[in-house]
């Protein structure tokens, strides 16, 4: 997104031209406000505008003055755009937003040129600090899996888990159970489960809402809220917000919603997108012998409906972000279940600067302690052109497939950018994560709970089903659920919760290096999500205790250190275990490995050691004792990207 003092990206030419226009009669000599028109498209109409008036101005204090201000801007814009003069729209004040901005509407929809002229005219008033159109955002449009859904054997407890949820596994190349795909793209959720289950943490999912399903925890359904304020979008008879985060359907089939159907947004039945996303982050009941598993499966998931028919407006989404984190929104009861992590599997066109309302909302949520996780988008383009993905303060997530490659549809970082923080499994759709071919099921998709209804939901249990989707929408809840596990582990250890900045840092520092080197023109941040490593690092963070717990068979990747540094890892080995292997590999630099049973090892006190050149070190113990083995990694030189793995054959 762009402001009046900084022009960036593909918008430079058009915004620069806007600044060079002569001032109109009654305008200030120069455009004094930040404004953003990057989301405007010539295929859409616009009748809602977000205006932030300066503190101390009459407009900030009075809704009447704000409406008069916008009406005067329409008149000024008419001098630049003849259609605004010939058919001048009326202006109405709607409400104060949680970000401190105001929402005003026009009596008719404006085309792209008219909307841009009005935004610039509003921005010219010295009382205005920021203005942008209130545009529609959408659930990130996913690729559905084949309709056929086959039952699997009961393994390990949730009966579809073993066959379908490849994305939860270690990501160490072990072939998948169905098509025997070498799985390098999974997120090691199983490693995170060894330390936490989400207890004590609330996740907010801002999406289409949630439906009742026998395998989904909807206990906070009534505690959620429907923030959609436009009756056309909500499907209700009046323009209001109502209690409850229930998905009433989002279909765009039929004549009623023909106005929002185009080549980019074809007519579709209800997606139940919010249920799929909420289930992945933690709402799917786990270890109950039914269906799928959720990631932070003992967290509470708060559904917030912000997307309905045709999408959802920025003004409603931004209010919901603040509310979900525990902030106040006029006209809505305060949230009794503040979230520590918020999932936004939604977006649309436009760039996002710190002055934008979406960024202000995210900053408010961050200040309240909530990490905001956002889908990078499924346009296969530079993420800078997607919002809220490009907003400062967001943890933005790209999608990878089973090979560890960036998926063909995922947005990405161009050279020099760091907007995308990391990637997580979203489903590559086709074999070898290619851009075309025959869809590969189940490994090409992420699988969770859905509903059979094509418009309104079919009541549970008759409407209960499961399905696969592929997209950054699915990658995002993997990170959201992992953040909940991280915070839950902190609570379980009696430690203070991590700040959003600390959460992002740990996610990135523990990210796994992809098996397939990324295209340097299309990168995705620190690497692949490693939930097990992230949760272990979260528990160790700030405690002054350098010991990091290893999980049997789970790789802890992304480790780094300086020459002369020592890091201690530990692995509890049960009685009767065989073939204990402790090793380091990968990355750059040179380390040595020292191992001791029962207490921390060092270069002068150890039971076993491995001191080869480089990072490939290994200690093998055929019949280990039933104790905790300590693994000390010493940096002989600076090193980075190191993987640490402890494994043994468990007793039967």
Query: What is the model's pLDDT at position 140?
Result: 79
Q: Give the alpha-carbon dihedral of 498, 504, 505, 510, to 10 degrees.
A: 100
DSSP state of 228: -
- pLDDT surpasses 70 at 13: no
Domain ranges of the chain: 9-134, 143-509, 546-649
Query: What is the model's pLDDT at position 26?
Result: 38
Rounded alpha-carbon distances, angstroms, from residue 374 to 338, 340, 345 = 18, 14, 6
The kind and range of the H/E element at 16 are helix 12-20
- Region 183-210 average pLDDT: 94
**Concatenated DSSP letters of 36-96:** --TT--TT--EEEEEEEEPTTSHHHH-HHHHHHHHHHHHHHHHTT-HHHHHTPPPEEEEEE
Give domain 546-649's CATH number out of 2.60.120.380, 1.10.3210.10, 3.30.70.940, 3.40.50.150.
2.60.120.380
Smallest Cα–Cα separation from 628: which of 561, 575, 566? 575
Q: What percent of the chain has pLDDT over 90?
A: 75
Fold equal for 143-509 and 546-649? no
Q: Are 81 and 117 in contact (CB under 8 A)?
A: yes
Q: Helix H segments across 79-177?
A: 82-86, 112-123, 161-164
The kind and range of the H/E element at 593 are strand 591-597
Smallest Cα–Cα separation from 364: which of 403, 322, 402, 395? 322
Phi, psi angles (nearest 5°) of residue 130: -160, 145
Other Cβ atoms less than 10 A from the Cβ of 528: the count is: 26
Q: In what order do the strands lie in the sheet with 556-561?
A: 556-561, 639-649, 578-585, 617-621
Q: Are 104 and 98 in contact (CB under 8 A)?
A: no
The kind and range of the H/E element at 277 are helix 273-278
Smallest Cα–Cα separation from 383: which of 422, 426, 354, 356? 422
Q: CA 108 to CA 86: how far, in whole Å? A: 13
Query: What is the model's pLDDT at position 477?
Result: 98
Q: CA 438 to CA 445: how far, in whole Å? A: 13
Smallest Cα–Cα separation from 378: which of 476, 268, 269? 476
Would you place residue 206 in the very low, low, confident or very high pLDDT band (cuts 50, 70, 90)?
A: very high
* Cα 604 to chain centroid, rounded: 46
* Predicted TM-score (pTM) above 0.85: no
Average per-residue pLDDT for the chain: 89
- pLDDT surpasses 90 at 48: yes
Return the ∠ at Cα 312 (arms to 364 and 484), rounded to 5°.
45
Smallest Cα–Cα separation from 454: which of 214, 269, 239, 235? 269
- Region 194-200 average pLDDT: 91
SS3 579: strand
Q: Report the DSSP beta bridge partners of residue 468.
A: 447
- Region 636-651 average pLDDT: 90
Q: Are 187 and 529 in contact (CB under 8 A)?
A: yes
Q: Can you read off the two tokens belonging to residue 162?
A: 């073993």
Which residue is listed with tokens 């009406």? 71
Query: What is the model's pLDDT at position 11?
Result: 21
Q: CA 528 to CA 258: how far, in whole Å? A: 40
Q: CA 454 to CA 457: how far, in whole Å? A: 7
Q: Report the DSSP beta bridge partners of residue 127.
A: none
Q: Give the alpha-carbon dihedral of 288, 292, 293, 295, to 10 degrees.
A: -160
Query: What is the model's pLDDT at position 544?
Result: 63
Catalytic residue numbers, as ranges: 207, 273, 473
Task: Write the pLDDT tens digit of every residue in 493-531.
Answer: 888 999 999 999 999 988 999 999 999 999 999 999 999
Q: Report the DSSP beta bridge partners of residue 346.
A: 139
Task: Write the pLDDT tens digit of every residue in 359-400.
Answer: 999 999 999 999 999 999 999 999 999 999 999 999 999 999
- pLDDT surpasses 60 at 8: no
Q: Helix H segments across 381-509?
A: 472-492, 500-509
Question: Hey, CA dihedral for 352, 358, 364, 366, is it positive or negative?
Answer: negative
The kind and range of the H/E element at 366 are helix 357-367
Task: Write the pLDDT tens digit of every residue in 437-495.
Answer: 999 999 999 999 999 999 999 999 999 999 999 999 999 999 999 999 999 999 998 88
DSSP state of 280: I
Task: Write the pLDDT tens digit of every residue in 136-194.
Answer: 998 876 777 765 434 332 233 778 988 999 999 989 899 999 999 999 999 999 989 98
- pLDDT surpasses 90 at 540: no
Q: Are 378 and 472 in contact (CB under 8 A)?
A: yes
Write out the CATH class of domain 143-509.
alpha beta
Q: CA 224 to CA 323: how far, in whole Å? A: 10
- pLDDT surpasses 80 at 27: no
Query: What is the model's pLDDT at position 546?
Result: 61
Would you place residue 263 in the very low, low, confident or very high pLDDT band (cuts 50, 70, 90)?
A: confident
Query: What is the model's pLDDT at position 33?
Result: 65
**Concatenated DSSP letters of 375-415:** E--SSSSBGGGEETTTSTTEEEEEEE-TTSPBPTT--BBPT
Would you place residue 6 in the very low, low, confident or very high pLDDT band (cuts 50, 70, 90)?
A: very low
């Amino acid at each position: 997104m762009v402001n009046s003092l900084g022009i960036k990206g593909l918008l430079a030419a058009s915004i620069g031209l806007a600044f060079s226009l002569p001032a109109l009669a009654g305008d200030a000599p120069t455009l004094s406000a930040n404004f953003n028109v990057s989301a405007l498209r010539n295929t859409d109409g616009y009748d809602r505008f977000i205006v932030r008036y300066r503190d101390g101005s009459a407009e900030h204090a009075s809704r009447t003055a704000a409406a008069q201000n916008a009406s005067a801007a329409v008149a000024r814009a008419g001098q630049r755009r003849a259609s605004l003069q010939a058919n001048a729209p009326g202006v109405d004040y709607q409400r104060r937003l949680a970000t401190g901005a105001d929402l005003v509407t026009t009596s008719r929809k404006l085309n792209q040129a008219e909307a841009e002229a009005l935004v610039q005219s509003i921005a010219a008033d010295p009382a205005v600090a920021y203005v942008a159109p209130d545009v529609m955002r959408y659930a990130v449009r996913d690729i559905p899996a084949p309709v056929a859904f086959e039952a699997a054997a009961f393994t390990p407890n949730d009966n579809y888990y073993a066959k379908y949820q490849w994305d939860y596994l270690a990501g160490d190349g072990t072939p998948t159970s169905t098509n025997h795909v070498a799985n390098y793209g999974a997120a090691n959720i199983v490693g995170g489960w060894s330390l936490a289950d989400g207890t004590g943490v609330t996740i907010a999912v801002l999406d289409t809402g949630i439906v009742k399903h026998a395998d989904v925890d909807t206990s906070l359904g009534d505690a959620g809220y429907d923030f959609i304020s436009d009756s056309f979008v909500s499907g209700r008879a009046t323009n209001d917000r109502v209690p409850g985060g229930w998905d009433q359907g989002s279909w765009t089939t039929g004549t009623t919603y023909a106005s929002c159907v185009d080549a980019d947004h074809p007519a579709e039945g209800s997606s139940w997108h919010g249920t799929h996303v909420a289930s992945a982050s933690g709402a799917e009941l786990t270890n109950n012998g039914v269906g799928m598993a959720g990631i932070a499966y003992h967290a509470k998931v708060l559904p917030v409906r912000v997307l309905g028919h045709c999408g959802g407006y920025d003004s409603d989404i931004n209010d919901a972000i603040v509310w979900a984190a525990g902030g106040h929104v006029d006209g809505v009861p305060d949230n009794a279940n503040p979230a520590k992590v918020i999932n936004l599997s939604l977006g649309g066109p436009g760039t996002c600067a710190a002055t934008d309302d979406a960024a202000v909302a995210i900053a408010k949520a961050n200040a309240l302690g909530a990490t905001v996780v956002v889908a990078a988008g499924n346009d296969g383009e530079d993420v800078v052109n997607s919002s809220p993905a490009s907003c400062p303060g967001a943890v933005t997530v790209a999608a990878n497939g089973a090979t560890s490659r960036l998926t063909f549809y995922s947005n990405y970082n161009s050279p020099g950018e760091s907007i995308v923080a990391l990637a997580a499994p979203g489903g590559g759709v086709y074999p070898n994560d290619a851009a075309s071919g025959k869809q590969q099921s189940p490994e090409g998709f992420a699988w969770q709970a859905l509903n059979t209804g094509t418009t309104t939901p079919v009541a549970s249990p008759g409407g209960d089903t499961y399905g696969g989707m592929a997209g950054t929408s699915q990658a995002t809840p993997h990170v959201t659920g992992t953040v909940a596990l991280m915070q839950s582990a902190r609570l379980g250890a009696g430690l203070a919760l991590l700040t959003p900045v600390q959460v992002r840092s740990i996610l990135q520092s523990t990210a796994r290096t992809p098996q397939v080197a990324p295209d340097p023109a299309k990168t995705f941040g620190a690497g692949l999500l490693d939930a097990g490593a992230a949760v272990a690092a979260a528990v160790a963070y700030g405690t002054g205790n350098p010991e990091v717990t290893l999980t049997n068979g789970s790789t802890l990747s992304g480790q780094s250190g300086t020459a002369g540094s020592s890091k201690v890892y530990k692995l509890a080995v049960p009685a009767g275990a065989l073939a204990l292997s402790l090793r380091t590999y990968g990355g750059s630099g040179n380390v040595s490995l020292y191992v001791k049973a029962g207490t921390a090892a060092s270069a002068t006190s150890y039971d076993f050691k491995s001191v080869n050149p480089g990072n490939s070190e290994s200690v093998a113990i055929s019949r280990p004792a039933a104790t905790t083995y300590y693994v000390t990694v010493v940096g002989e030189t600076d090193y980075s990207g190191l993987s640490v793995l402890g494994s043994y054959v468990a007793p039967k």
